[in-house]
Structure 1
Amino acid sequence: MDETLKDLAAHVTGALPGALVAHKIAYGELTLETTPDHILKLATFLRDDPSCLFTCIVDVCGADYPAREQRFEVVYHLLSLKQNARVRVKLSAGEETLVPSVTGIWPGANWFEREAYDLYGILFTGHPELRRLLTDYGFDGHPLRKDFPLTGFVEVRYDDELKRVVYEPVRLAQEFRNFDFLSPWEGVEYILPGDEKASSQPGAPAAPKAS
């Protein structure tokens, strides 16, 4: 299988010079790295070339790496029933990068790209209807970004008086607590329940003082 994937990588590289940034084979799958400028050319070739025929798009998803200058990766998973092969295509994008939509090549990418926009904020230009898919229309932020707070920004409830759903700022029932995760038998500087009695017994070490 690896030899077949190596031949495929060499075929794509030779047919589309400059379209690939890199390629590698891992875990029995070929990954092709490209750029937003070349994604449509590469996608069309992978779909139409007789040696490829990746006519089925399995998924389009995002990944977030906030420390990178181009924080997002857009990942396409393709399947060729004719060649009995799979290929992964990746490209990097920033928060303002416009990634060309592949819905004109694979119509099945429509909802996948909407999901990536909804959850990461990745912008796809040329998409027929780029709007949120899994969150509400008024949702603030993109919940799969690494810097999105675990509690979110608003909470939703049904108001029985207003007879509608209302949005309110998040209110935590209690503050987040700090845990030391130390063994209760060593290293703690506070008195555990019951330890105050131990110091009163003859020969017992004194209980640690509460900080």
Structure 2
Amino acid sequence: MDETLRDIAEYIASERSDAIVDWHIAYGELTLSIVPGEILPLVKFLYDDPRLGFVNLIDICGVDWPAREKRFDIVYHLMSPRQNARIRLKLATDEATPVASIASVYPGADWFEREAYDFYGVLFAGHPDLRRILTDYGFEGYPLRKDFPLTGFVEVRYDDEQKRVVYEPVRLAQQFRDFDFESPWEGTDYVLPGDEKAH
């Protein structure tokens, strides 16, 4: 399989050298690092070329690297039934630079790109309907960024008095927790048998 992937990588690099920054094969998988501005022409080539035939889009996802200048990786997974092979395309972008939408080539990219926008804030230029898909309409922030607080910013609950859903700042209420002070997992005020030597 590595030989097939090597042939595919060399063919793509020779035909579209302007789009490929680097490629490598690891663990039986081909990864192509690409120039961000070339994603749309490259996927058109991968889709249309009769030798390749990468006609199936499997996934688009994001990765956050907050210490980098271009903090996001956008990762595309494609499959070619003709080659019986999968490849991964990877590009780097920042918060302000949009990435070209590939929904015109792979209509299924629509929801994947919306999800990347919803969770990371990555913009996709030319997307037919770029809006949140999994978080609530008024949600603020991007929950899969590594600088997003683990508790979020607001909590949602149904208020029985107002008879509607309300949004409030997060409160970490402790009075509802059930502490068992007799449990050795919570800690005790007395010495358990066998722990006399610990002090």
TM-score when normalising by structure 1: 0.83
Larger Rg: 1
Q: Could you say which residue in structure 1 is the equivalent of 2:118?
A: 118
Cα distance between partner residues in 2 of 1:159 and 1:24: 55
SS of residue paired to 2:50? coil
Matching residue's letter, 2:83: Q
Q: Could you say which residue in structure 2 is the equivalent of 1:95?
A: 95
Matching residue's letter, 2:190: G
Matching residue's letter, 2:19: A
Matches within 5 A, 1:1-211: 1-174=1-174, 193-194=189-190
The count of aligned residue pairs is 188
Cα distance between partner residues in 2 of 1:55 and 1:78: 7
Q: CA RMSD in A?
A: 2.3
Matching residue's letter, 1:109: A
SS of residue paired to 2:43? helix
Matching residue's letter, 1:153: F
Q: Deviations over 1:123-162 (max 9, x none)?
A: 1010000011110010111111111111000000112232
SS of residue paired to 1:38? helix
Q: Report deviation, 1:29.
A: 1.2
Cα distance between partner residues in 2 of 1:173 and 1:162: 21
Cα distance between partner residues in 2 of 1:105 and 1:72: 23
Q: Deviations over 1:95-138 (max 9, x none)?
A: 11100000001001000000010011111010000011110010
Q: Could you say which residue in structure 2 is the equivalent of 1:181?
A: none
Cα distance between partner residues in 1 of 2:127 and 2:33: 22
SS of residue paired to 1:33? strand
User: Where in structure 1 are there 5+ consecutive unaligned residues?
Assistant: 175-183, 185-191, 196-203
Matching residue's letter, 2:150: L
TM-score when normalising by structure 2: 0.88
Identity %: 62
Moved over 6 A (4+): none
Cα distance between partner residues in 2 of 1:163 and 1:58: 43
Q: Deviations over 1:11-58 (max 9, x none)?
A: 011101221111010111111111221111111111111111100100
Cα distance between partner residues in 1 of 2:160 and 2:95: 39
Cα distance between partner residues in 1 of 2:190 and 2:158: 46
User: Where in structure 2 are there 5+ consecutive unaligned residues?
Assistant: 175-183
Cα distance between partner residues in 1 of 2:27 and 2:46: 21
Matching residue's letter, 2:6: K
